[in-house]
Amino acid sequence: MEHTRALLAAALLTSAGCETDAATSTDNQELRSAVQVSSATALGDALANLGSGDEVVIVADGDYGDLELVGRNFTADVRIRVASGVRARFDKIRLTNCSHILVEDVWVRPTTAQPAVRIEGGSDITIRDADIGFADHAVGWSAADWNARVSVGVEVVDSNDTTIHRNYIHHVTTGVESNGVATDVNRNDINYFSDDGVRPHGDASMIRSNRITNNVKVNGSTNVGIQSVSRGPTGAVGGGRIDDLLVWGNTIIETTDPAKPFGAPLQGIGFYDGVYGDLFIAQNLVSVDAWRGIAVLGSDVANVQYNTVIDSDPLSPRRPDVSIEDHKDGRPPLGSRLRYNLAARVGSNPAVNAYGNIVTAGSDLPVFFEDHENYDFMPTSSVPNNRGSWRHRNMDGTLQDAARRHGVVAGGGLGSFMCDATSTDALCDLVSDEFELVTPNNALKWSALRPVEGTFNFSRGDAQVAFAQRNGQIVHGHTLLWSAFNPAWLEAYRGDGVALAGLMDDHIQTVVGHYRDEFPGVVTRWDVVNEPLTSSGAFRSDSIWSAVDSGVGPAAYISRAFHAAHTADPDAHLVLNDFGVEFGPKGDALFALVQEMKAEGVPVHGVGFQSHYDTSWTTVPTRDDISEMMEQYAAIGVDVHITELDVRIPSPVSAAEQELADSFYESVATACFVAPNCKTITSWSVSAANSWIDTLTGYTPYHPFDAELRPERAYWLLRAGQ
C-alpha cells in the first residue's frame, strides 16, 4: 500500500518534470505529498521544510554527504527514498532524537571509520533496502586495513521501535548493534564482518531471517553471528537481564567465499551473558567450524528449538553445539527447553528440559542435506523426522507468518482431548508454533460444558484456552448454540419457549462471562450460532433453538443470542457460522439474514465459512464463488472467517481427486488473502494424526500435516503468495 502510494507520487513528479516540486492528490486523501531533490542543498531545504509528516522526499542520483537530522519528530512517517534505478551516495547517516522517519534505498559509503548509520534517542526509525558498507570489496586488505577502515554498519543507541529491514550491510566490524527496546532486524544480508553480525541488547527485539556470512578474524575479538550481552546497573557484563528476544529463521554461515582470507571459527548464536528472560531462538541454520553453535548462558524461560547446527568442517575436531547452560556466575537456567534441534553436539544441563534433539556426525552431512558444500541445506529424505530439519525447506517460518503477511490470522482446531497448558507432545507444539489462533472443536459445546443439568463443567474448555494463553494465541469460541451435540436433558425444554429463552440467555451470559473474566483477552471471538440453515437456505426447524420464544420470525432467537453475547462481552467479535455458504441458495439466504440483522442493529461482526470439502461432491464452490461472496459481505461491513477448513477424499485416493483436494486449499487461501475482509483461515484438524474425518467411513483425510506431522502440499498451498 505504502509502496504503491509512493510510486504514484513519484509518477506524478516525473510527469511534472521538475527538480523540486510538490504534488498532492485531491482524489486520494491518503496520497502523501512528495518532493524530489537532486542536490545536497535541495535535500537540506526539503528536509527543513517538512511539515508534520506523511511526506515523501525522493532523492535523485548523486553524492549527498552526511544525512543528519536532530530533534525532528513527525506524527506520521516521513519517507526519504531514492528514485528508482539510481544511486544516491551518503557518507554517514545520523538521526538523533527523531521519530517516524523511514530511509530507503540509500547507498552509504563512509569515508572514515565511524558508524555508517547511527540512530540515537527518539523512536520509530526505519532503515531499509539500503546498501551500507565501508568498501565494495576488501581484496588485498591486510588485517591492519580491516582494523583501520571499517566500523559498525548500523548503531542504535537508546532509540525504540527501530526497524532495520532488507539491507545489504557489508565490510563492517559489526553489522547491526542496538540497545533500543523493540528493535526489529529482519531480512538483512550481513556479509564480511570483523566482529559480530548482529548484537541485540534491547528488550523485546526481533532478529529474523537475516543472512550472516563470511567473518574475518583480524584482531583478538571472537566473531559471533548474533551475540547479545546484558549489563548490570554499573555496566558489568552479565550483570543484567534482557527480556523477550526472538531470534528466528536466521542463516549463519562461516564461509561462503572460499577465497576469503582471515578465516577463523565463527560462533553461531552466542548469548553468553544473561540473564535472558522469555527468549526464543528458533529455526536458525548455523553452519560453522567452532565449538559454539548456539549457546545460552543464564536464562529464565528460554526456548531453543528447531535449529539446525552444522559442522562446516567435518575434518576438524570442533563440533558446534546447541545448549542452554548455567549463567557464568553459576545460576542454573530456569524453565528452559532445548528441543527438536539437529546439531553436531547437544548440551545436557540437568536443569534444562531437553527432548527431540538429534546429534549429527560430520560425515552425515552429505546424507542429510542436498548439497551442503554449495550451501544447499535442503534436507534429503534421509533426515529423521525432526521438525527442526524440515523447517529449513522454507526459512520463512510458519503458516502464521505467511498468513500475517496478508493480514490473515492462521488458526488450528483442537480435538476433544488435545493440548493443555502443560502439553509437550509434538502435535501440541506444532499447533502452538504454526497457528496464532486455536478453536476448541468440541470442548465449548453444550454437551461438553453441561453434560448434567444445573452445573457447568469448564475443565476441558479451560484446559484448551489455557494452552492458547500460554502460547500467546487467541481462541475462537465454538459454539454457543447449535442444533447438534446437545445434552439429552436439554430436549426436555422443547415446547416451553419462554423457559428455553431464559436458559439460552443464561448460558451465553455464563460461558462468555466466564472466559471474559478468567482468561481476559484470549477468547476474542465467538460462533454465537452454528449452522442455523438447511441446504436450501431455510431455517432449520429441527434445531431446539428454533423453539425459543423470542418475538416474531424464525430468526428471532439468532438476533437475541447475538445481543446476549454482546452484552456479556462487548469486545468480543461475534460470528454466525455455517457450511456450504460460499454460493447457491444457502449462501444467498445466509447473506440475506446477516444483511437484515445488520440493518436491525444486531451486533453481528463476522460470518464463518466452515469450508469442509469433499472431493466426491458434484457441486463445489470455485475460487470466484468464494471471492464474490466475500465481496458481498465486505459491502455490508461484515468480516469473513474460514472457520473449519478441511478436505476429505474417498479412499483409495486417485490422482485426480488429490489434485481437486489441492485446488480447494488453493482457492480458499488465495481468495482469502486478497479479500480485505477475510480475516482468518482455520484448519479444523491440523493433521491426519488428529482428524475428525477418521470418524467417517471410506475417507482419507487431507490436512496441512500428515499423520507423522510432516507438511503436506496443502501446507504450502496455505502459504500461497507469501
For the chain, the helix, strand and coil percentages under 3-state DSSP, each to the nearest 5: 25, 35, 40
What is d(CA 344, CA 362) in angstroms, rounded to the nearest whole number? 7
Give min distance, CB of 458 to ligand 9MR, in A: 17
Residues 500-519 that bind ligand 9MR (CB under 6 A): none
- Give the dihedral sign, CA 599/602/603/607: negative
Q: Applying CB under 6 A, does 417 fall inside the site for ligand 9MR? A: no
Beta-ladder partners of 170: 133, 191
Task: Give min distance, CB of 610 to ligand 9MR, in A.
Answer: 5
Shortest CB 99 distance to ligand 9MR, Å = 48
Give the orientation angle of helix 584-599 with respect to helix 623-635, to 10 degrees.
10
Helices 584-599, 556-568: crossing angle, 10 deg rounding: 60
DSSP state of 408: -
CA pseudo-torsion sign 668, 671, 672, 677:
negative
- The answer to whether 204 and 179 have CB atoms below 8 angstroms apart is no
User: Are the C-beta atoms of residues 215 and 266 closer than 8 Å to each other?
Assistant: yes
**For ligand 9MR, which residue of 340, 692, 715, 716 counts as binding (CB under 6 A)?**
692
Q: Based on CB atoms, which residue is closest to ligand 9MR, 445 or 586?
A: 445
Q: Would you say 88 or 581 has its CB closer to ligand 9MR?
A: 581
Between 287 and 530, name the residue whose CB sits nearer to ligand 9MR: 530
Determine the interface stretch with ligand 9MR among 181-189, 394-402, 438-446, 488-496 (rule: CB under 6 A). 438-446
CA neighbor of 330 nearest in space, from 275, 390, 257: 275
Q: Give the x/- contact pattern for ligand 9MR in 581-620, rule: CB under 6 A.
A: -----------------------------x-x--------
What is the smallest separation between the CB atom of 631 and ligand 9MR, expressed in angstroms? 24
Nearer to ligand 9MR (CB atom), residue 230 or residue 442: 442
Distances in Å between the alpha carbon of 709 and those of 115, 175, 387, 389? 46, 37, 9, 13
Report the residue from 284, 442, 471, 667 that binds ligand 9MR according to the rule CB under 6 A.
442
Beta strand pairing status for 163-165 and 184-186?
Answer: parallel
Closer residue to ligand 9MR (CB): 92 or 445: 445
- By C-beta, is 446 or 557 nearer to ligand 9MR? 446
How many residues comprise the chain?
Answer: 722
**Which of 485, 506, 520, 592 touches ligand 9MR by CB under 6 A?**
485
CA distance 645 to 460: 23
Complex with ligand 9MR: residue 578 or 639, whichever CB lies closer: 578
* Rg, C-alpha atoms of the chain: 29
Q: Which residue's CB is nearer to ligand 9MR, number 167 or number 442?
A: 442
Q: Which stretch binds ligand 9MR (CB under 6 A): 60-68, 437-445, 550-558, 626-634?
A: 437-445
CB of 530 to ligand 9MR, least distance (A): 6
Provide the minimum distance between the beta carbon of 683 and ligand 9MR in the complex, in angstroms, as a whole number.
12
Grid cell listed for 705: 500435516
Nearer CB in complex with ligand 9MR: 183/610: 610
Cα 405 from Cα 19, distance rounded (Å):
36
Evaluate whether 107 touches 116 at the Cβ level (below 8 Å). no
Contact (Cβ atoms closer than 8 angstroms) between residue 24 and residue 13:
no
Q: Closest separation between CB of residue 292 and ligand 9MR, Å?
A: 47
Min dist CB 214 to ligand 9MR, Å, is: 51
CA distance 590 to 530: 12
Q: Work out which of 441, 543, 680, 683 binds ligand 9MR, going by CB under 6 A.
A: 441
How many residues bind ligand 9MR (CB under 6 A)? The answer is 9
Question: Which stretch in 113-121, 212-220, 441-449, 622-630 sits in contact with ligand 9MR by CB under 6 A?
Answer: 441-449
Q: How far is the CB of 414 from ligand 9MR (least distance, A)?
A: 10
Residue nearest to ligand 9MR (CB): 692
Q: Which residue has the cell 532523492?
A: 59
Q: Are 80 and 125 in contact (CB under 8 A)?
A: no
Stretch touching ligand 9MR by CB under 6 A, among 108-116, 177-185, 439-447, 663-671 = 439-447
How far, in whole angstroms, is CA 12 from its chain's centroid? 35
Q: Which of residues 520-559 bind ligand 9MR (CB under 6 A)?
A: 530
CB of 21 to ligand 9MR, least distance (A): 58
Sheet containing strand 292-297, edge to edge, reads: 67-70, 93-96, 117-120, 154-157, 176-178, 196-200, 223-229, 266-273, 292-297, 321-325, 345-346
Question: Which three cell numbers, joined as nine digits, stand for 450?
Answer: 453441561
Helix axes of 459-470 and 497-518: crossing angle, nearest 10 degrees? 30
Q: Pick one of 55, 105, 639, 644: the residue that binds ligand 9MR (CB under 6 A).
A: 644
Phi and psi of 694, rounded to 5°?
A: -60, -20
For residue 213, the minimal CB distance to ligand 9MR (Å) is 47
Segment contacting ligand 9MR (CB under 6 A): 99-107, 146-154, 347-355, 440-448? 440-448
Indicate the residue among 196 and 527 with the shorter CB distance to ligand 9MR: 527
- Cis peptide bond upstream of 314, omega within 30: no
Of 319 and 478, CB closest to ligand 9MR: 478
Which residues, other chains included, contact 393 with Cβ-Cβ below 8 Å and sequence gap of 6+? 378, 379
What the block records as the C-alpha cell of 84 is 528508482
Closer CB to ligand 9MR, 209 or 442, in the complex: 442
Rounded distance between C-alpha atoms, residue 595 and residue 609, angstroms: 16
Beta carbons of 634 and 677 less than 8 angstroms apart: yes
| Minimal distance, residue 324 CB to ligand 9MR, in Å | 38
Q: Catalytic residue numbers?
A: 531, 644
Q: How far apart are CA 575 and CA 340, in angstroms?
A: 37
Contact present, 360 and 384 (Cβ < 8 Å): no
Residues that bind ligand 9MR (CB under 6 A): 441-442, 445, 485, 530, 610, 612, 644, 692
